[in-house]
């Protein structure tokens, strides 16, 4: 059953990633903004979910479906990697370095922020009970 949960989550994450990518697509922009935004959103949600999701969802199969399936297919390291290489191939080294640094630093920051938000919400819920 865990494989079904991961597969369904993966399908939903991939479709959402496609829609968000289309919505943010800028055909002449040299900076790969859509992938950056998708990865930052996904990093934040994963950070939040690691803290909050374990409290909200007790079903480990569903947690796998969200974390591995949905968020794993919504965010993508492969798109980040190819876009970085393509920027360098085009000689856009400054943009490539910016993209790498922003994605890495802000991605880690988004995970930490998501975890902090999850912890704060968890603390508020605990205080209400």
Give exposure, 56-71, as e/b (b: 16+ Cβ within 10 Å): eeeeeebbbbbbbbbb
Do residues 33 and 95 lie in contact, with contact meaning Cβ atoms separated by under 8 Å? no
Per-residue pLDDT, 124: 67
Domain ranges of the chain: 2-119
Q: How far apart are CA 74 and CA 125, in angstroms?
A: 28
Tokens describing residue 50: 């690691």
Tens-binned pLDDT, residue by residue, of the chain (129 aa)? 999 999 999 999 999 999 999 999 988 988 889 999 999 999 899 888 888 887 788 898 999 899 889 998 998 887 788 889 989 999 999 999 999 999 999 999 999 999 999 888 877 665 554
Do residues 70 and 11 lie in contact, with contact meaning Cβ atoms separated by under 8 Å? no
Give alpha helix (H) positions in 1-129: 2-24, 33-48, 54-56, 60-64, 72-74, 77-89, 93-128
Per-residue pLDDT, 78: 72
Per-residue pLDDT, 95: 96
Per-residue pLDDT, 120: 86
Per-residue pLDDT, 126: 54
**pTM of the predicted protein model:** 0.74
Question: Is residue 30 classed as helix, strand or coil in its secondary structure?
Answer: coil
Per-residue pLDDT, 7: 96
């Amino acid at each position: 059953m865990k494989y079904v949960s991961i597969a369904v989550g993966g399908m939903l994450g991939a479709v959402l990633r496609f829609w968000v990518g289309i919505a943010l697509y800028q055909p002449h922009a040299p900076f790969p903004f859509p992938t950056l935004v998708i990865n930052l959103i996904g990093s934040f949600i994963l950070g939040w979910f690691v803290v909050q999701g374990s409290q909200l969802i007790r079903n480990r199969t569903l947690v796998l479906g969200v974390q591995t399936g949905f968020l794993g297919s919504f965010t993508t390291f492969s798109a980040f990697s190819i876009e970085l290489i393509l920027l360098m191939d085009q000689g856009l080294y400054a943009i490539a370095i910016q993209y790498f640094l922003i994605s890495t630093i802000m991605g880690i920051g988004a995970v930490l922020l998501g975890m902090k938000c999850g912890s704060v919400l968890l603390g508020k819920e605990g205080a209400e009970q």
